Amino acid sequence: MNTESPIGIFDSGIGGLTVVKAIQAALPFERLIYFGDTARVPYGPKSQITIRKYAADDTAILMRHQPKMIIVACNTVSALALDVVEKSCGNIPVIGVLKSGASLAVQMTKNNHIGVIGTQATVCSNAYAYAINTLNPDIAVVSQACPLFVPLAEEGFINHPATKLIAEHYLADFRKANIDTLVLGCTHYPILRQVIGETIGSDIRIIDSAEAVALRTSELLSESGMLNRSHTTSVPHLLVSDLPQKFSKLYQLFMGSEQPDVDLVEV
Amino acid sequence: MNTESPIGIFDSGIGGLTVVKAIQAALPFERLIYFGDTARVPYGPKSQITIRKYAADDTAILMRHQPKMIIVACNTVSALALDVVEKSCGNIPVIGVLKSGASLAVQMTKNNHIGVIGTQATVCSNAYAYAINTLNPDIAVVSQACPLFVPLAEEGFINHPATKLIAEHYLADFRKANIDTLVLGCTHYPILRQVIGETIGSDIRIIDSAEAVALRTSELLSESGMLNRSHTTSVPHLLVSDLPQKFSKLYQLFMGSEQPDVDLVEV
């Protein structure tokens, strides 16, 4: 393991590609290896015991490639099983989208009222509120599960009137809650950032967890002298546990570029 | 294995409970054992090789309970892996929702134009059109994938205006296609039967695959003298591969009654 070792990133499916894209933008010379557990997606509605087992499996798959750090791009695993990832990967640093997003939101809020949207499991775990209040116990956190946002994003219903109606349904209560900052606590949600922004209002700052984790990764590699010093760029190395029929279309939706080769791994 | 042996039913998740409900209504004295592969749901977007592996696993789980027949309540498995189920269960009869729905639609259509809605995998497999045209090659079949209907049903967006807009989006082309019969080719869709019916128009007959499979089961057990002759009713024996947080709420949504005890099986 050295500065040229890859950064390992995993998610329950392809949503974590928003994290890959944010890290590519912030750190173009890093080698990235991404595992998407497309055979077992989604993790959100599953039980904690199952999610913790999957987190250990996912970490083991990335560890075979000797990464210099691991990024948990899955909010559900960040919320319920970050300790499992830390235990499974020895001494290398682990960054979860959740703590990164929570920390950036705490820095940004001015009125100490933060909203969080995510999957049912992330919201029920209360992990964002816990992470935010660990940093600042005076902040009020209001959370809302938006389970239809993932299928709407994946089906490309980005600008559809139905998506606007569903966004209004989910986000209505935030208007009364006086928040000035909203955390997108699911890696799919950046795809719907525009409709979420229009619905919530332009006076509320939106925190994209993918951008927050890229910022934190950059800081951490810098501080530890582990930035890749070779000035070459490479396409991310993609691993998936199943190759869904829509994979290529979804890759295009998330990354805005053609899908590279993909390796299939068994889970 | 005798007349009192259970009927084994499986699905990728809890959608197959619509089949359980239809069979309970048609055959109240049969013992039912249901396996929902809730840890690996949904099958729809997955590759054929993965779906075939899961079909073998699901059959093996039911075979431990020595059923007198197996019902494949999963349209995706019916479309892509019915032969795997037949090979894995020896001599007992296998009924798939797909052939039952196709067969009932063929009996019902008067103008020989049938519409089919289902998951991406079911529609892409072209299995409904194949099953319908095997019975009658003169029937025109028009298919449409409606991938958002499953999450909308599961989230309880039954009468929401967004669901109506999405139904209009998916079903618009059927108006031009001159169909007189529409097959609900996914076990979740009966939950949205009202909005689908309102959108498609009252002159189009809707075929619920769950009701079709119950009818076919009744005929088959009758013909083979395998109807259960004991006049006692029992709650279905439920097996799942994961106990999702929403299970109890979903059971209520699908069955209209309180959830009984559930056994967890490893896949």
For residue range A83-104, list pLDDT tens digits in order. Answer: 999 999 988 999 999 999 999 9
| Amino acid of residue B166 | I
| CB contacts < 8 A (A, B) | 73
Residues A216-243 have pLDDT tens digits of 999 999 999 999 998 899 899 999 998 8
The number of angstroms, rounded, from the C-alpha of A231 to the middle of its chain's C-alpha atoms is: 26
Of B40, B151, B169, the CB nearest to A40: B40
Give, for all 267 residues of chain B, the pLDDT tens digit.
899 999 999 999 899 999 999 999 999 999 999 999 998 888 877 888 999 999 999 999 999 999 999 999 998 899 889 999 999 998 899 999 999 999 999 999 999 999 999 988 789 889 999 999 999 999 999 999 999 999 999 899 999 999 999 999 999 999 889 999 999 999 899 999 999 999 999 999 999 999 999 999 999 999 999 999 988 998 999 999 988 767 888 898 889 888 888 999 998
Of B121, B161, B245, the CB nearest to A124: B245
Q: Cβ of B40 and A39 within 8 Å?
A: yes
Tell me which residues of chain B, numbers 63 to 92, contact chain A at a CB-CB cutoff of 8 Å.
Answer: none
Tell me which residues of chain A, numbers 162 to 181, contact chain B at a CB-CB cutoff of 8 Å.
Answer: 162-163, 165-166, 169
Q: Which residues make beta-bridge pairs with B23?
A: none
Closest CA to A236 of A34, A64, A13: A34
In sequence order, what are the residues at sequence separation of 6 or more whose Cβ sits closer than 8 angstroms to the Cβ of residue A195? A158, A159, A163, A164, A167
Closest CA to A242 of A39, A58, A36, A16: A39
Q: Is the minimum CB–CB distance between B155 and chain A shorter than 8 Å?
A: yes
Q: Is the minimum CB–CB distance between A243 and chain B shorter than 8 Å?
A: yes
- Angle at which helix B209-223 crosses helix B17-26, to 10 degrees, equals 50
Q: How far apart are CA A144 and CA A78, in angstroms?
A: 17
Q: How far apart are CA B43 and CA B220, in angstroms?
A: 28
Phi, psi of B16 (to 5 degrees): -65, -10
Q: How far apart are CA B111 and CA B107, in angstroms?
A: 11
**C-alpha neighbours within 13 Å on the C-beta side of residue A186:** 29
Residues of chain A with pLDDT under 70: 245
Work out the minimum CA distance from A73 to partner chain B, whole angstroms. Answer: 20
From chain B, pick out residues whose CB is under 8 angstroms from the CB of A165: 160-162, 165
Work out the minimum CA distance from A8 to partner chain B, whole angstroms. Answer: 24
Q: Which strands, in side-by-side order, build the sheet including A32-36?
A: A94-96, A69-72, A7-11, A32-36, A237-240, A262-264
How many other CB atoms are there within 10 angstroms of residue A115's CB atom?
A: 27
Name the residue in chain B with its Cα closest to that of A120: B245
Tell me which residues of chain A, numbers 39 to 58, contact chain B at a CB-CB cutoff of 8 Å.
Answer: 39-40, 45-47, 50
Among A148, A160, A171, A246, which would you mutate to test the B interface (most chain B Cβ atoms within 10 Å of its Cβ)? A148
Q: What is the pTM of this model?
A: 0.86
Q: How far apart are CA A135 and CA A103, in angstroms?
A: 7
From chain A, pick out residues whose CB is under 8 angstroms from the CB of B245: 45, 47, 120-121, 124
Q: Contact A184/A117 with Cβ under 8 angstroms?
A: yes
The confidence score (pLDDT) of residue B59 equals: 98
Q: Cβ of B162 and A157 within 8 Å?
A: no
From chain B, pick out residues whose CB is under 8 angstroms from the CB of A121: 245
The confidence score (pLDDT) of residue A45 equals: 76
Q: How far apart are CA B174 and CA B206, in angstroms?
A: 13
The confidence score (pLDDT) of residue A29 equals: 96
Work out the minimum CA distance from B52 to partner chain A, whole angstroms. Answer: 13
Phi, psi of A263 (to 5 degrees): -100, 135
The confidence score (pLDDT) of residue A198 equals: 96
The confidence score (pLDDT) of residue A247 equals: 83
The confidence score (pLDDT) of residue B25 equals: 94
- Backbone Cα Rg of chain A: 18
Of A47, A120, A165, the CB nearest to B242: A47
Q: Cβ of B246 and A160 within 8 Å?
A: no
Is residue A146 part of the annotated active site? The answer reads: no
